[in-house]
Amino acid sequence: MKETTKSTAKKKISPKKEKPGVQTITSMFKKQYEAKKISSASDASSSSTKEGDRDVYITHIQKASEYFSPKGRTAKPLNRLSLRRNRTEENNAILVPSISTESTLHSTGMAEAEIDQTETCSQWNTECSIKSPKNETLDKSVKKETQTSLSASSSENTSKKICSPRKRKSSQKDDINSNKKVKTIQDENLKDTKGNTDSRENKPDSISMNKSELRKIEDCKEEPTQSHQYVVTENSNSAVSDVGLPEEEEIVFRTPYYLENFRTIISDVLSYEDNAKLFNDEDRKFIDIFKELTEPAQKLYIRLFGRKWKWLTQQQIKYPGIQDNLSDVFMELVDKGFLMNENDLDDLEKALNLLSAPDLKSFAKTYHLTSVTNKKEIIPSLLKKCKGNTIGSMFKVAGHNPHQAMLKRVKKLLGLCVCLSEAPRFVFVRMLMLFSLTDTILDDDNANAGQSQLFRMLQVNIGETIYPTFTVSRVTQIFKDRDSVLRFSEACLLEADLWSRLERNNFEAAYSVYLEAQERVLELKKDKAIANYDKTIPDFLRPFTAFSVYTRILNQGVELLQRRKDYQGAVSLLRKLLGQRVYCVDYRGHWWERLALNYDAHLKNSEKAMEAVESGLKDSSVTAGRRLALYQRAEKICTAPRSKFKDRLKKLPDESVKPTPEVCIEGTVLSDNMPGMRYKFIMADPDGDEDKLTFCGVEELVMEHYKTNGYPEGLHAEGSIMSNLFGLFFWDVIFMDVPDVFHSAYQTHPLDLYSTLFYSNRQSAIDLRLEEIKKASVEELHKMMAAVWEAHFGEMCTGVNWERFLCLSHAQGLASCIGGRRLSLMLERLVKNPRHTRSGFPDLTLWNPRTGALKICEVKGPNDRLSHKQILWIDYLVSVEVDAEVCYVKAVGSKKLKSSN
């Protein structure tokens, strides 16, 4: 029963103090909605705007990059958002107060019922005694300020026009060159207290608006505005965000978030000296040309860059926010070499796929293909027509080519179609890879990678996503030269190709990718300098090398060979993988296990299988779970009837574990014949209503059983329980300053977290923290958890889900039942090897805050059995005096259950 846990920054039940200016995307659009509601009926003559004015805009005042931390400095995300509205000179400016961090409780498109649910969660927080009294005081004090600010803003009339210092080549050029100055309205209370001093010192406090106040704003029956502008400013030390900008004259420019963030990526990557060396003159030429493009061309290129890399027709590209008619923009990008047009399309199959189904059917009729109606059948039939004999081919007419003739006709039907040119696209793909330092570019080839990276940056800009604070410290140069990063990028693209084919169950095509990877590895091995340099890189940075990526592809090749029943080839490949100890060292246990399996089960060579087991148990890189699997393989071989290896079992290190405690309960199960229902159990109504029945999974059935037997609190969270406790007690250790583990501001964990170096790099700090937890009283454990919870609630961290527990008190109740000594021992196993111990933790964690009872239970339904990692976790928990057991659920039909009753 695996559960993939994800860190999330949703603040549904946020007991933490309000962070300055933290916003969500929902609050951003709510501001836009409220601005429309507040606009005056007398000022209804606002200028009309294009579709693009409804895009999200980031308004910057300073040119320096704020998103990426320079070397040796702490990464701090921009998370203050204010709202400003565009008006013509004849219209009046109305200032809309910012929605406070309370708006982060809402998700996009939140309904009224969800708002009520949010209020219920707030009541729960109050019961847990974790709501900040300061925030309550602020909510009361700002009600009056909201009304005062709204009345003040509506009474003052200032004509404003947004202008830009950036050169534009669009229709807005005249407005920009006019250089109009912008005024904002300052809060009246600040005017009385501080006077008209420097506006940067007179920033008013933000207004925290509750549900009733939002409804008051909605009641304002006034004309909506046509365009809105969002202003992102630097995060300050004040406890709350701004109502609006200070009353001062300032020059601003507006740019869509995706364009501004794309420019930020380019500047930040090139600003780092080691990265700048990875681009030659030809690469820089593409970058320079991109900077010289008109703004609509830049916008369109980024939009296409974020989509799947393939040919697109003009009808498939609609961006009214950029320009209504994109023909001239297409031509500009084609002339500059960033796009290919239909003249470069020479693949007939791709061209046929671009045709819509009706057009393709009509086209097929011209070739007398009327029997096939499916698009997947029409295209192969048309391609077959090109290969057949024609009158021109029989008489060998000069220049007659049926393939080219059909392609020409298809292009005429298609009209304008474009595709991103490979060379400049590959440059920007490498830029994104270096910016976020990922060891795969799978998403880039399957679409959305560029767009997801830009959107993630937007989430940081507006405060929807908050990354932890850490120091970016780069010491080791991962990529020695441009060739090394090119090799790595090509390997990543090949791996992406492999996974895309495996997802479509196209195993033959995947096998061809594996063969290509083999050839590339043989070619790379000729240059011994590559492997020698890779050995100098720390283990946790080697995944960013070409050899590591190819090793992962070869690892998948083992599965492909076994699927083809080429077990001898799989054994030969496994021997090659085990022959090196530089790349993918964490896979060695898996390789030894597969080698023993192939020898024993498929090749029927018990001698070779035992040799593989013995070698695997001697390998120090093989972890406990794999060692247990190897030992059980040896037990099977040695205890078989008439086995000649009985004596060799005694010579092996004993990896056996004690029998796991077991219980068994019965559950009424639905019929297996019901579609979509597999082992859905029937549970009596928890409120005691005999006429009500609940359908549930096996885990929910067992949890309800334990709730009625002394464990009122419980979570079905598997390893998420331990990872959350690990984050709460080791937050500062996880994000401590260690060289090379943080290369990007957009990291949710250090790069060495899932390597053996995580513990060795922080051994003294980890040992000290474990000792503190071991000796801590219940009150001290609560204080340690509260300190991290209040300081970092909502920040992204791998393994930490802030919604896993209902509130801080809920988590503290579990810690109280575990106790300092047992908690220290449980965390010790996780922290010393997070990669291999993060999985296998039992399904259910149950506790009773009143009695202090604790039970950890693995649930197994019919025909389910324990994995090796689950066995080891239960064995370890029992050894540290934790009540852990396996609960087997026996499926009982309703008739049998009634008869037994």
Give Dmax over CA atoms of the chain in angstroms: 99
**pLDDT value at 93 more than 80:** no
Give mean pLDDT, residues 652-672: 83
- Residue of higher predicted confidence among 106 and 733: 733
Q: With pLDDT > 90 as the criterion, what percentage of the chain qualifies?
A: 39
Residue 846: predicted pLDDT: 94
User: What does the pLDDT look like over 850-876, one tens digit per residue?
Assistant: 999 999 999 998 888 899 999 999 999
Matching residue, tokens 């340690």: 784
- Range from 401-415, 516-530, 755-769 carrying the lowest mean pLDDT: 401-415
Residue 441 banded pLDDT, cuts 50, 70, 90: low
Of the ranges 232-241, 318-327, 612-621, which is most confident? Answer: 612-621
Residue 652: predicted pLDDT: 87
Q: What would you report as the CA-atom Rg of the chain, rounded to the nearest whole angstrom?
A: 32
Taking a C-beta distance cutoff of 8 angstroms, is the pair 464, 101 a contact?
Answer: no
User: What does the pLDDT look like over 754-784, one tens digit per residue?
Assistant: 888 999 999 999 999 999 999 999 999 999 9
Residue 777 to residue 820: CA distance in whole angstroms: 7
Tell me if the pTM is above 0.85. Answer: no
C-alpha dist (Å) from residue 643 to 608, 635, 649? 14, 11, 11
Tokens at residue 261, please?
A: 């963030």
Residue 305 to residue 576: CA distance in whole angstroms: 39
- Residue of higher predicted confidence among 781 and 678: 781
Q: With pLDDT > 70 as the criterion, what percentage of the chain qualifies?
A: 66
Taking a C-beta distance cutoff of 8 angstroms, is the pair 44, 223 a contact?
Answer: yes
Contacts of 535 (CB under 8 A, 6+ apart): 582
What is the per-residue DSSP string for 227-257?
EEEEEEE---SSSS--SS--SS-B--EEEEH
Residue 357 banded pLDDT, cuts 50, 70, 90: confident
Residue 565: predicted pLDDT: 94
- Residue of higher predicted confidence among 495 and 40: 495
User: Which residue type sits at 431?
Assistant: M
What is the per-residue DSSP string for 328-358?
HHHHHHHHTTSEE-GGG---HHHHHHHS-HH
Burial of 747 (0-12, 13-18, 19+ CB in 10 A): buried
Contacts of 709 (CB under 8 A, 6+ apart): none
Residue 861: predicted pLDDT: 85
Residue 82 to residue 750: CA distance in whole angstroms: 33
Residue 348 to residue 408: CA distance in whole angstroms: 9
User: What does the pLDDT look like over 150-174, one tens digit per residue?
Assistant: 344 444 433 333 333 333 333 343 4
**pLDDT value at 649 more than 80:** yes
Contacts of 538 (CB under 8 A, 6+ apart): 476, 740, 752, 757
Phi-psi region of 871 (alpha: psi -120 to 50; beta: other; left: phi over 0): alpha
Residue 731 to residue 666: CA distance in whole angstroms: 42
Residue 675 banded pLDDT, cuts 50, 70, 90: low
Residue 324 to residue 338: CA distance in whole angstroms: 21
Residue 440: predicted pLDDT: 59
Residue 389: predicted pLDDT: 55
Taking a C-beta distance cutoff of 8 angstroms, is the pair 360, 372 a contact?
Answer: no
Q: How many residues in the chain?
A: 901
Give mean pLDDT, residues 66-87: 38
User: What does the pLDDT look like over 264-299, one tens digit per residue?
Assistant: 889 988 988 888 889 999 999 999 999 999 999 999
- Residue of higher predicted confidence among 824 and 40: 824
Residue 657 banded pLDDT, cuts 50, 70, 90: confident
Residue 724: predicted pLDDT: 94
Residue 287: predicted pLDDT: 94
**pLDDT value at 501 more than 60:** yes
Q: How many CB atoms lie within 10 A of CB 788?
A: 18
Q: Which spans in 619-762 are helix H?
A: 624-638, 646-651, 698-707, 720-734, 757-761
Residue 545 banded pLDDT, cuts 50, 70, 90: very high
Nearest to 708 by CA among 848, 498, 584: 848
CA distance from start to end of the chain = 31
- Residue of higher predicted confidence among 63 and 268: 268
Taking a C-beta distance cutoff of 8 angstroms, is the pair 75, 469 a contact?
Answer: yes
Beta bridge partner(s), residue 856? 845, 884
Q: How many CB atoms lie within 10 A of CB 729?
A: 23
Of the ranges 20-34, 657-671, 834-848, which is most confident? Answer: 834-848
CA 39 to chain centre: 38
Residue 254: predicted pLDDT: 66
Residue 364: predicted pLDDT: 84
Taking a C-beta distance cutoff of 8 angstroms, is the pair 435, 744 a contact?
Answer: yes
